[in-house]
Structure 1
Amino acid sequence: MVLTGKQKRYLRGLGSLEPVTVQIGKGGVTPTVIQQLDETLEARELVKVRVLKNCLEEKEDIARRLAEGTGAELVQMIGHNLLFYRPAQKPQIQLPG
């Protein structure tokens, strides 16, 4: 799935209102974190992830591993926040064409 610029802008607008749902700390990206993000994506489609300051991994590596592990698309990376999108089995978010 590849999002267009227009779709990413739309999702970033929605994401600004989203609370942080998943946090990554000192342990970094673990199978448990990937599973938690996967389940949250299925329920919500758009998920904000915060990388805590005590995390030793690079944000870019974290974003890549989470996207690969869940099949989600990285929509935005600002500071310590990452925004991921993956359509659910029954999509709730209608993306613009």
Structure 2
Amino acid sequence: MNLSTKQKQHLKGLAHSLKPVVQLGSNGLTEGVLAEIENALSHHELIKVKIPTDERDLKKAIIDAIVRETQAFHVQTIGHTLILFKPSDEKKIQLPKA
């Protein structure tokens, strides 16, 4: 399943007021950080992750790794903030039709 443009716009609107739930530290992307992202996604479905690096290639590699490992949808990246969506079994967020 891929997200349509309409669905992404809906999620961006919902994410606007959210604060980052997970922030990568000086150790970068560790298994503990990935576990925390997974936990936050299963609880909230839509989260922001703060990636404090100025290197574009490194940031892209980290984002790709997070998306691959969590199997979440990459909604948007703004500056150092990544917005992720992963529907849970409870379907807390209703997406508009594609």
Normalising by the smaller structure, the TM-score range is over 0.9
Residues 1:72 and 2:66 aligned together: no
Which secondary structure state, in structure 1, belongs to the residue aligned with residue 82 of structure 2? strand
Contact 2:76 / 2:82 at 8 angstroms: preserved in 1?
yes
Aligned residue in 1 for 2:13: 13
Residues 1:3 and 2:3 aligned together: yes
Aligned residue in 1 for 2:49: 49
Q: Quick one: percent identity of the two aligned structures?
A: 35
Aligned-residue offset at 1:52:
2.0
Aligned-residue offset at 1:51:
1.1
What are the ranges of 5 or more consecutive residues in structure 1 without an aligned counterpart? none
Structure 1 residue runs of 4 or more that deviate by more than 4 Å after TM superposition: none
Structure with bigger strand share is 1
Contact 1:26 / 1:54 at 8 angstroms: preserved in 2?
no
Residues 1:88 and 2:92 aligned together: no
Against the structure 1 CA distance between its residues 63 and 53, is the aligned structure 2 distance closer, same or farther, given a 3 Å change threshold? Answer: closer
What are the ranges of 5 or more consecutive residues in structure 2 without an aligned counterpart? none
Cα distance in 2 between the residues matched to 1:24 and 1:58: 13
Aligned-residue offset at 1:54:
8.3
Number of matched pairs: 96
Aligned-residue CA RMSD (Å): 1.6
TM-score, normalised relative to structure 1: 0.92
